[in-house]
């Protein structure tokens, strides 16, 4: 390997090197937010797409699946790509590709073209998250790196939450193509700022050979894994031949990929950094944090809209205080962790406990809960995740040498993303399973011969007759309403179990912290660190 990428524009002094650090932070965070918003923004527009494109639900689901699969394939190789073409060029090219694909998605007139351009969009946006994180570690002095991570972390937290809300508002106010067109001015701004301010890496090493086989095996393994996670619940998991085939293909390609990367002189993913025990343990913890973050982002809107009856916009307004609390907490944590002599693991423990308390409060929600009931649980959830995010980032990357920060960031972002995908898949599957089991249990306690059931059916019969139903049809309609009540109660009990389980899962991961050392920041040797 050549020691440093040719043509790097180095600042003469530390002051010059860090002069534009806040503009750079906003630039790379804007790119990450655009990428994350587009992960979920299409979900609420799917019914409109089905009607416009003449597609079934299963077919149009590939609009989301294709994007996410392309996303996770790029994540672990973003460091290699940034080194190969230069970080500034890579970020600019990614934003350009993402923005152009957004334009083409909005102009798509068939399902095939929309899915194709969503895949291209995912390839463009996939590397923006990990590249952003690695950029911030170099463009902020060590004493301010917590602040840089707080700005970035706010985007990570807010992006997934904004998607459904923004998508619902745009779709209702205009039409579904505008959920893509909204990216054009923001993407153009991010591109301009990236070209003007984002520097190349001081530590980048460009591979002289392209590990083509490694790239192919990685794409095959990660692509199949993400696809089965996206489609598993819909296809009833292991009863589907497609899911079994995807599982075997992913596992086989993963094993071959590991062998390929360990023997290749210029691997596309540097797996040797997993020798750092703290980094390896942090990946597992980050996986669980991703599951907690994305599962709650997935489950709460489903609960709010199907059980409570909120619109997408109302749900977004309920979620907003938690996102603000998360951003404020990360800002405070960024400053505290840079100055404190306390063990960073303490903050992770406190954050996990607060998150667990929030999930316990979530488990007390009912079908009659309202916005006032959601306020403090959402705020506590944001505070808990915000307290975990910054210290865990530094625990994960703090021991790595500067030249391994970028590949480490890519792997860390990948595991967090996969944790979110697994969390959503498991949450969706358990939601259906718990609903069925709860309904069966409730039906055992409901019989037409019981006094309570007779009274309730009489009330429902009177209700439907008061609204114009004939006496002949009233008993049938009353039974139908009673079944709806039972289904709703079964779903509510399922949500309660899942919320509590999410809190307990993160708390159960706390013993992993015993395998880590005291956290510290990635230190750079310059005049601003002292």
pLDDT 10s digit of each residue in the chain, 530 long? 444 444 444 444 556 667 778 888 888 888 888 888 887 777 777 777 877 888 776 677 778 778 877 887 887 788 778 888 888 888 999 999 999 999 999 998 888 899 899 999 988 988 787 788 778 877 877 777 777 777 777 777 777 767 777 777 787 777 888 989 989 999 999 999 999 888 877 766 666 667 788 888 888 888 888 788 877 877 878 888 888 999 999 999 999 989 888 888 878 777 888 888 888 888 888 888 888 877 887 788 888 878 888 876 777 778 878 878 887 888 788 777 666 677 888 898 999 999 999 999 999 998 889 889 999 999 999 899 888 888 888 888 777 787 777 778 778 888 887 888 788 788 888 888 888 888 888 777 765 556 667 676 677 677 777 777 776 677 777 767 777 778 888 889 999 999 999 888 888 888 888 888 765 544 444 444 43
Contact 140, 131 (CB under 8 A): no
Q: What is the DSSP letter of 308?
A: I
DSSP state of 305: I
Query: Measured between alpha carbons, how far apart are the two ends of the chain, in Å?
Result: 32
Q: Return the number of other C-beta atoms located less than 10 Å from residue 94's C-beta.
A: 26
- The per-residue pLDDT for 17 is 64
d(CA 76, CA 52): 35
d(CA 364, CA 58): 34
CA distance 131 to 190: 14
Distance CA(443)–CA(504), nearest Å, equals 29
> Does 457 map to a domain?
no
**Residue 221 belongs to some domain of the structure:** yes
What pLDDT does residue 340 have? 64
Predicted pLDDT at 447:
59
What is the chain's alpha carbon radius of gyration, rounded to the nearest angstrom? 25
**Of 147, 170, 24, nearest to 92 (Cα)?**
24
- Tokens found for residue 512: 């992993």
The whole-number pLDDT of residue 203 equals 64
Q: Is 217 within a domain?
A: yes
d(CA 406, CA 497): 38
Dihedral of CA 418/424/425/427: which sign?
A: positive
Decide: 403 and 409 in contact? Cβ < 8 Å: no
SS3 label, residue 312: helix
Q: Which two tokens stand for residue 151?
A: 């700005």
Q: What is d(CA 399, CA 520) in angstroms, rounded to the nearest whole number?
A: 8
Is residue 226 situated within a structural domain?
yes
The domain total for the chain is 1
* Domain housing 219: 209-267
In a domain, 336, yes or no: no
DSSP letter at 41?
Answer: T
pLDDT (0 to 100) of residue 205: 64
Residue with tokens 């798509």: 108
Please tell me the predicted confidence (pLDDT) of residue 209.
67
pLDDT of residue 393: 81
φ/ψ of residue 323, rounded to 5: -65, -40
Residue 384, both tokens: 């808990």
CA gap 12, 335 in Å, rounded: 27
In a domain, 247, yes or no: yes
Global pTM value: 0.77
Domain assignment present for 490: no
Q: Is residue 369 part of a domain?
A: no
Residue among 169, 162, 171 at smallest CA distance from 30 = 162
CA distance 322 to 316: 10
Nearest Cα residue to 282 out of 345, 231, 192, 376: 345
């Amino acid at each position: 390997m050549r020691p440093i990428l040719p043509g790097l524009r180095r600042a003469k002094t530390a002051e010059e090197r860090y002069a534009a650090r806040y503009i750079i932070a906003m630039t790379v965070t804007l790119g990450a937010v655009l990428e994350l918003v587009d992960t979920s923004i299409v979900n609420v527009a799917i019914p409109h797409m089905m009607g416009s494109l003449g597609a079934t639900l299963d077919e149009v689901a590939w609009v989301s699946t294709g994007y996410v699969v392309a996303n996770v394939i790029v994540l672990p190789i973003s460091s290699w790509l940034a080194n190969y073409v230069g970080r500034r060029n890579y970020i600019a090219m990614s934003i350009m590709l993402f923005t152009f694909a957004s334009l083409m998605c909005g102009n798509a007139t068939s399902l095939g073209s929309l899915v194709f351009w969503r895949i291209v969009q995912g390839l463009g946006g996939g590397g923006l998250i990990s590249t952003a994180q690695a950029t911030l570690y170099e463009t902020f002095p060590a004493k301010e790196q917590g602040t840089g991570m707080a700005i970035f972390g706010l985007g990570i937290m807010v992006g997934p939450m904004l998607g459904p809300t923004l998508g619902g508002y745009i779709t209702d106010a205009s039409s579904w193509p505008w959920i893509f067109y909204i990216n054009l001015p923001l993407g153009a701004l991010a591109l301009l700022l990236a070209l003007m301010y984002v520097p190349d890496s001081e530590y980048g090493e460009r591979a002289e050979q392209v590990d083509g086989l490694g790239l192919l095996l990685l794409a095959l393994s990660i692509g199949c894994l993400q696809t089965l996670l996206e489609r598993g619940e819909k296809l009833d998991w292991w009863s589907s031949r497609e899911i079994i085939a995807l599982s075997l293909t992913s596992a086989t390609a993963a094993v071959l990929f590991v062998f390929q990367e360990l023997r290749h002189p210029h691997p596309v993913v540097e797996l040797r950094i997993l020798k750092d025990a703290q980094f390896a343990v942090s990946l597992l913890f980050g996986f669980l944090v991703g599951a907690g973050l994305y599962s709650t982002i997935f489950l709460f809107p489903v609960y709010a809209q199907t059980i409570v009856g909120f619109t997408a916009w109302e749900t977004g307004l309920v979620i907003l205080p938690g996102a603000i609390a998360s951003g404020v907490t990360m800002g405070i944590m960024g400053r505290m962790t840079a100055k404190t002599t306390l063990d960073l693991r303490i903050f992770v423990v406190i954050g996990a406990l607060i998150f667990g308390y929030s999930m316990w409060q979530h488990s007390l929600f009912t079908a009659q809960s309202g916005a006032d009931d959601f306020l403090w649980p959402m705020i506590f959830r944001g505070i808990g995740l915000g307290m975990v995010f910054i210290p865990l980032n530094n625990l994960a990357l703090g021991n790595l040498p500067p030249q391994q920060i970028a590949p480490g960031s890519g792997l860390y972002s990948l595991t967090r993303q996969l944790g979110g995908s697994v969390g959503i898949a498991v949450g969706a599957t358990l939601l259906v399973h718990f609903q069925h089991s709860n309904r069966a249990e409730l039906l055992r306690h409901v019989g037409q011969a019981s006094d309570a059931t007779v009274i309730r059916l009489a009330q429902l019969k009177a209700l439907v007759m008061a609204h114009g139903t004939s006496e002949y049809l009233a008993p049938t309609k009353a039974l139908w309403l009673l079944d709806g009540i039972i289904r709703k109660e079964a779903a509510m009990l399922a949500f309660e179990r899942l919320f509590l389980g999410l809190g307990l899962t993160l708390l159960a991961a706390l013993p992993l912290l015993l395998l880590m050392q005291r956290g510290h920041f990635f230190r750079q040797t310059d005049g601003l660190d002292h």
